[in-house]
A and B are shown apart, each in its own frame.
Chain A
Amino acid sequence: MASETVIELQQIDVQFSEKGQEVHAVDHVDLTVSRGDIYGIVGYSGAGKSTLVRTINLLQRPTGGKSLVLGQDMLSLNAKQLRQERQRIGMIFQHFNLMNSRTIAENVAFPLKGHKSKAEIKAKVDSLLKLVGLDERADAYPAELSGGQKQRVGIARALASDPEILISDEATSALDPKTTSSILDLLKHLNETLGLTIVLITHEMEAVKQICNKVAVMDAGRIIERGDLLQIFAQPKEQLTKDFIDTTIQLDAALEAVRQEPAVQNLAPSDRLLRLTYVGASTDQPLVATLFKDYQVTANILFGDIQILQGTPFGNLIVVLSGTSADLARAFTYLHDNDVTVVALDGKEETPA
């Protein structure tokens, strides 16, 4: 699927000195976002995500590199052209950044003043508030709203100038899980109905998992891994990526509980404690049944987690496999051939294929 590139960052580099210390916030990063993408950039705070996305609309001027957005070389624009270009790039923030002295309707109308007639603005504001489900609260002030409602206002405001790109800067990080989910659903809805391209930065892999089709993992100013969501979940290469994925299945807690079980405490010498990870088609195979029927290997499932990513199942199992070492070796080959990732949790030398 070759679609149009809407954002292309080339060798973006950002360095600044803070309190006499040189900070290399973004280190020669390339990033390409296509129209209709929901591109997740995940990383811990301080990884440089916020700085990186701000080089898209030049809220942060890079010290090196190129920022091409919607066909414009952003760094070549003069102040006035840049202001016009910024109206095509909406932005929402972790702390909403609404104007407390203005009502909800006035906040949403804010970017439109001076560009459209009063009647046009009113119609636009009405339709936007309806879109985000806040038409009843038009005359309230931000202080009267909950966090989730404030973010909905933020989204409505960001959409007022009909942008083609929306930058979401930790937009759900200050919200509880349920509200987070509803805001993410709204973003997904906007992506599907308006064709809005979204760049979403977050430290929560859960948010990425819910709506993104692409993901990049950032650490210390660099993108250390990137790709399609499914590909990254199925075959993460970097340890940090694996850690982020594990946060979505609470594997650490599960593993701790599993280790207390008698089945694990009294592991026979030939038994193997393993983690099996699989994506998509693999799950259609009757995995456990095949292991027993064709390889005489019994599987004791101690923990299972299956999530749906972009309509595709993503499964994680913690199992004890029992059988002769010859049978186990053949079983490992079978698993490998079926794109099941096997990780040894028992610390044994011979790592399975």
Chain B
Amino acid sequence: MTGLENWIEKIMPNVVENWSGDTGFIQSTKDTIYMTFWTSVIAGVIGLALGVLLVLTDDHGLWESRPAYFILDKLVNIFRAIPFIILLAVLDPVTRALVGIGIGPTAALVPLVAGTAPFFARQVQNALLTIDPGVVEAAEAMGLSPLAMVWRVYLREGLSELVRVGVLTIISVIGLTAMAGAIGSGGLGNLAIQIGYNGFKNDVIWVATILILIMVFIVQFVGDIIAKKLHH
């Protein structure tokens, strides 16, 4: 053993002890990344679709429809109003029906998506509302079809803003995965609470926190670069 390893072992004995294994740091980091990635992808697609529909059905939208907007708007609000920790419990039967099991990272995806998609939808809606209505009108005057309008105007003109709210959402997903530990999802949050907090192992809490922070920083950093590149 080198001096450095000795030193690490000395100041963070519990981290070293919990490094590998089923609930160790390596597996937990993988679980957190797994949950964050798939939640972002699935909730991203659903949220994007919902957000676009909210804008299109709103007053002066391309598919202006009071009833459709009302239903979508309320649906998004209700899901956003339920605290995530309660959503985990409420959706348990749904999770079991969909995934076949109530615990673990894959099972956690169900409440994670349900909690994230409405949040992202609202963010998408706000991002798209920053697009100059004049640009939309100009495209309409050129005779664009509604689908082309969504694809070539809304999503293209709003892209930089969409990336920005996307980053915000991914970071909030990382936060939610930690809470999903409450239903035994695994992941760094789970590790910090189950082993660190409950076992009075402060070094585990600290290292788990640092790893989560590193993930957040990487997402923010990459997102900022992309958003900046897209903004003209």
Contacting pair A110 B160 (CB below 8 A) = no
Residue from A89, A93, A110 within 8 A of B134 (CB atoms)? A93
Residue from B132, B135, B142, B159 within 8 A of A111 (CB atoms)? B142
A123 → chain B, closest Cβ, in Å?
A: 19
Which of under 10, 10 to 19, 20 to 34, or 35 or more describes the interface residues of B? 20 to 34
In the complex, A83→B153 CA distance in Å? 16
Q: Digit string of B117-159 for contact with A (CB within 8 Å is 1, else 0)?
A: 0000000000000001011011111111100100011001101
In the complex, A90→B138 CA distance in Å? 9
Contacting pair A83 B144 (CB below 8 A) = yes
Contacting pair B156 A57 (CB below 8 A) = no
Q: Is B230 an interface residue (CB 8 A)?
A: yes
Contacting pair A101 B159 (CB below 8 A) = yes
Residue from A85, A91, A141, A142 within 8 A of B138 (CB atoms)? A91
Q: Which B-chain residue is minimally distant from A100 (CB atoms)?
A: B232
Contacting pair A83 B145 (CB below 8 A) = yes
In the complex, A278→B68 CA distance in Å? 61
Which of under 10, 10 to 19, 20 to 34, or 35 or more describes the interface residues of A? 20 to 34
Measured between beta carbons, the chain A residues less than 8 angstroms from B230 are 101
Q: Which B-chain residue is minimally distant from A91 (CB atoms)?
A: B141
In the complex, A2→B140 CA distance in Å? 33
Residue from B141, B148, B156, B160 within 8 A of A99 (CB atoms)? B156
In the complex, A102→B140 CA distance in Å? 17
**Known contacts A83-B144, A86-B142, A161-B142: A101-B137 contact under CB 8 Å:** no
Q: Is A267 an interface residue (CB 8 A)?
A: no
Measured between beta carbons, the chain A residues less than 8 angstroms from B157 are 99-101
A1 → chain B, closest Cβ, in Å?
A: 30
Contacting pair B143 A84 (CB below 8 A) = yes
Q: Digit string of B167-183 for contact with A (CB within 8 Å is 1, else 0)?
A: 00000000000000000
A13 → chain B, closest Cβ, in Å?
A: 20
B192 → chain A, closest Cβ, in Å?
A: 41
Contacting pair B141 A59 (CB below 8 A) = yes
Contacting pair A93 B138 (CB below 8 A) = yes
Q: Is A333 an interface residue (CB 8 A)?
A: no
Q: Which A-chain residue is minimally distant from B139 (CB atoms)?
A: A110
Measured between beta carbons, the chain A residues less than 8 angstroms from B160 are 101
Contacting pair A141 B140 (CB below 8 A) = no
Contacting pair A98 B135 (CB below 8 A) = yes
Measured between beta carbons, the chain A residues less than 8 angstroms from B138 are 91, 93, 97-98, 157
In the complex, A113→B149 CA distance in Å? 13
A201 → chain B, closest Cβ, in Å?
A: 14
Contacting pair A143 B232 (CB below 8 A) = yes
Q: Is A87 an interface residue (CB 8 A)?
A: yes
Contacting pair B142 A59 (CB below 8 A) = no
Q: Is A28 an interface residue (CB 8 A)?
A: no
Residue from A85, A97, A114, A167 within 8 A of B135 (CB atoms)? A97
Measured between beta carbons, the chain B residues less than 8 angstroms from A87 are 142-143
Q: Digit string of A68-87 for contact with B (CB within 8 Å is 1, else 0)?
A: 00000000000000111111
Measured between beta carbons, the chain B residues less than 8 angstroms from A83 are 143-145
20 residue pairs of the A-B complex, CB under 8 angstroms, read A59-B137, A85-B143, A86-B140, A86-B143, A89-B141, A90-B141, A93-B134, A97-B132, A97-B134, A98-B138, A99-B135, A99-B156, A101-B160, A110-B152, A114-B148, A141-B232, A142-B232, A161-B142, A161-B143, A167-B141
Further 6 A-B residue pairs, CB within 8 A, beyond A93-B138, A141-B232: A86-B143, A91-B141, A99-B153, A101-B160, A102-B156, A142-B232
